[in-house]
Structure 1
Amino acid sequence: MSPFRFISSTWKPLTTTTFILSTFLTTSLVSANPNCTEFRIPLTATASNEVFPIPVGLNYSNPAAISGLVQTVLGDAGTVYPVIPTTFTGIIAGRYCEPEVTIANRSDVVQLFMSGVTENNLYWFGLGYPNGYDGNEYSTVDYASKQGYPTFVIDRIGVGNSTHPDPILQQQVNLEEAVSHQLVTMLKAGTAVPGKTFNRVIFVGHSYGSILGNAQATNHPDDISAFILTGFGVSIIPVAADLPQTVPFPADLYAPRFAGLPPGYLVTSSEPGRRGYLWGKPGSYDEGIFEMDYNDEDVVGLGELLSIDAGLKEAPASTAPVYIITGDSDDVFCLLATCGDGAGSPQAQACSLFPKAETCEYFIPVGTGHMISLHYSAPTSFQKYHAFLASVGF
């Protein structure tokens, strides 16, 4: 393993119509640590999604055309696109895991995990279940289990075993946030996990999942008791500027496992491009886990890329504490993979989105790229955010 130094800081602030089908199907799974159960949860959620200017005859097999469209939409920050009511009705796949350590004051708290684009629930298990790469070394869930936290890890709509809706019109920030809101409501009501009612939900996001967390703080400020946002920043400029290197390409033309998906479902088809955009500097991660991630990547809906800006807004009413972890070599939220530190860093700037937060703190693992949970520095990131949770009463 490579040696690392780390930067931590604290920022102190100055001051949809939905319907849930509450039935579910469960399948018990054998797992050593922790003990997990797989769920298929039917639900319906509605939100106002944007209608983007998709060119007639768009060639989805032309990576330059796809990247150019994303850059145009994200670059027009002042453009207001029309919105229409959009509904998702389908299955959300997830795993609920009982912790291996029992801590009384954490039994009514659950960590809800939300992955980034081209990742599914396996990201939080170190890319494999029941055992990830190198055992549990990179498993966020396993670390949380050892701290006594129940966890609920889902496949977002459009990835993994969850329903794949229209990748442009439906798979957007607003509708995915509405789905997340329903899951939080169900976790608190005891209808997501039979026999389990949680009074407090900790939202743990990565990348696009963190953007959904920001959206939830904005749209439903009472949902979440604490936010852990990893691979997160406030600017969409580098997101769009550095995307072309990944060579986005239709998933169904890329690999047989994606056969039948509409062309708006994309993958990163360039190995060096994925490495540069999502992983950062070689030597900060095990080459084997990078290859595993590249070979087993999931998909991203074009609508997700186009709607990112909808999730990066101030959350004026959310008082939940926030902890942000973004590596200094993150190429998604930092131009030229150089994030800097201190008040000018993307991490510190992102705290401005949570002006009423009890506290907003950030941690910058140096030498680390975008895939926070999969770098050599991952155990330190796990330890840091759990120490933060303990410091704010969880």
Structure 2
Amino acid sequence: MPTSRSTPRWGFLNAITILSLSLFQAPFCAANPICTYIKIPITATASNEVFPIPVNLNYSDPAAISALVQTIIGDGDAPFPVIPETFDGTIAAKYCPPEVTVANRSDVIQLFMSGVTENNLYWFGLGYPNGYDGDIYSTVAYASKQGYPTLAIDRAGVGNSTHPDPVTQQQVNVETAIAYQLALKLKAGTAVPDKTFDRVVFVGHSYGSVLGNSLATNHPGDAAAFILTGFGVSGIPVAVDLPQTVPIPAELFATRFAGFNPGYLATSSEPGRRGYLWGRPGSFDVGIFQTDYNQMNVVGLGELLSIEGGLKEAPASTAPVYIVTGDADDVFCLAATCGDGPLSPQAQSCALFPKASACEYFIPVGTGHMISLHYSAQASFAKYQDFLATKGF
């Protein structure tokens, strides 16, 4: 299986290297592209799982929440009853036309789906119209400069999208159905006003990548390619290392979440979030970590409980797949040690796509879970965009 690795870079030298790289690949500290804020009406139905949640579960007890997640994910092979659930609401998004025109890309849209506790701003370097340090950490800006239109969404329950029940509705299966409807609307011209796209490239991060895996499993042929970042083959590490983040109801974490259902959670430990999502000191700017912590969004308990259900083989999907996961990812790798080569979670993840026309991966050294927000971000952007180019995009 083809693979590539970045060269270790740390601290100040790392920053200088990435900034130098960006001078050749994208204007340094430029703003994000000019985008349009839209809301897309979606009705999506799927069979969600009915998890054995104690009636007296104390949502304000981080240990109880973590233990429940560990138990459910640990029983990943055990069948749970299912019941139809419907999301009927709106998905908030930013549509960004490309900054340059590339003929064969104007009808190929990259659909961005973030991970838990992140909204669409993850794809803009945590800010719009200017991200942290300009557009250095903006996945959208990089894609835009390659000629791709993009759509960065707030997933259901996140940001300005409709907030469903965070336990019974906000699960992998319903969110996969939402992703499917979004792709159909993009191709039908009913998502972005006056724009129809021939192909959809799904770009996910973390839980968003799990949804990409699930989309390939349940709706093969819907997306023309998959870029899965912060991704692994098993949800076990997700549950094992979750307690360090001290998950609590978001309404107890910040006043901006006042009135939220207690099933909407936030990670309340600053050092725990840093260890879980960010990896080794020196691989990221402490300022961007602080920005992420201060403006974090929410995760539905149902999302955490259903992760394993999204990590399944996609036997009929032939779309090319590219995986980017750091070697210090503490979410999908136990003890933040992913390893290298055929035993790494990245390589093992390719087994989930046995009929993919291509499955390749990149392991940025020293990088934690937040692929787009590390010093290695520009290298990761370049790798996946180059992969798409070689596959005819």
> Secondary structure of 1:314's match?
coil
> Secondary structure of 2:348's match?
helix
Q: Tell me, in whole angstroms, the C-alpha distance in 2 between the residues paired with 1:284 and 1:83.
A: 42
- Under a length normalisation based on structure 1, what TM-score does the superposition of the two structures give? 0.92
1:335-354 deviation digits (Å, cap 9, x = unpaired):
11000000000000000000
| Cα drift, residue 254 of structure 1 | 1.2
Contact 2:49–2:82 (Cα < 8 Å) also in 1? yes
| Cα drift, residue 74 of structure 1 | 0.2
1:218-274 deviation digits (Å, cap 9, x = unpaired):
000010001000000002121110000000000011111001100000000000000
Contact 1:109–1:200 (Cα < 8 Å) also in 2? yes
The share of aligned pairs that are identical, in percent, is: 76
> Secondary structure of 2:51's match?
coil
Give the partner amino acid of 2:181: Q
Match runs of 1:376-387 below 5 Å: 376-387=375-386
Contact 2:143–2:150 (Cα < 8 Å) also in 1? yes
| Cα drift, residue 32 of structure 1 | 5.7
1:120-179 deviation digits (Å, cap 9, x = unpaired):
000000000111100111000000000000000100000000011100000000000000
Q: Tell me, in whole angstroms, the C-alpha distance in 1 between the residues paired with 2:96 and 2:352.
A: 31
CA distance 1:358–1:180, shift in 2 (3 Å) = same
Give the partner amino acid of 1:60: Y
| Cα drift, residue 69 of structure 1 | 0.2
Q: Tell me, in whole angstroms, the C-alpha distance in 1 between the residues paired with 2:289 and 2:39.
A: 29
Alignment partner of 1:272 is 2:257: no
> Secondary structure of 2:212's match?
helix
State the aligned residue count. Answer: 370
Match runs of 1:79-94 below 5 Å: 79-94=78-93
> Secondary structure of 2:173's match?
helix
Structure number with the higher helix fraction is 2
Q: Tell me, in whole angstroms, the C-alpha distance in 2 between the residues paired with 1:208 and 1:139.
A: 19
- Under a length normalisation based on structure 2, what TM-score does the superposition of the two structures give? 0.93
Match runs of 1:99-114 below 5 Å: 99-114=98-113
CA distance 1:271–1:101, shift in 2 (3 Å) = same
Alignment-derived partner of residue 220 in structure 1:
219
Contact 1:249–1:267 (Cα < 8 Å) also in 2? yes
Alignment-derived partner of residue 165 in structure 1:
164
Alignment-derived partner of residue 249 in structure 1:
248
Q: Tell me, in whole angstroms, the C-alpha distance in 2 between the residues paired with 1:202 and 1:356.
A: 17
Q: Tell me, in whole angstroms, the C-alpha distance in 2 between the residues paired with 1:328 and 1:34.
A: 31
Give the partner amino acid of 1:221: P
Give the partner amino acid of 1:388: F
| Cα drift, residue 310 of structure 1 | 1.0
Alignment partner of 1:281 is 2:283: no
Q: Tell me, in whole angstroms, the C-alpha distance in 2 between the residues paired with 1:262 and 1:189.
A: 35
Contact 1:45–1:89 (Cα < 8 Å) also in 2? yes
| Cα drift, residue 33 of structure 1 | 4.4
Alignment partner of 1:191 is 2:190: yes
Match runs of 1:335-346 below 5 Å: 335-346=334-345
Q: Tell me, in whole angstroms, the C-alpha distance in 2 between the residues paired with 1:293 and 1:2.
A: 23
Unaligned runs of 5+ in 1: 6-30
Match runs of 1:105-124 below 5 Å: 105-124=104-123
Alignment-derived partner of residue 54 in structure 1:
53
Alignment-derived partner of residue 5 in structure 2:
none
What is the CA RMSD across the aligned residues, in angstroms? 1.3
Give the partner amino acid of 2:74: G
Give the partner amino acid of 2:307: I
Contact 1:2–1:284 (Cα < 8 Å) also in 2? no
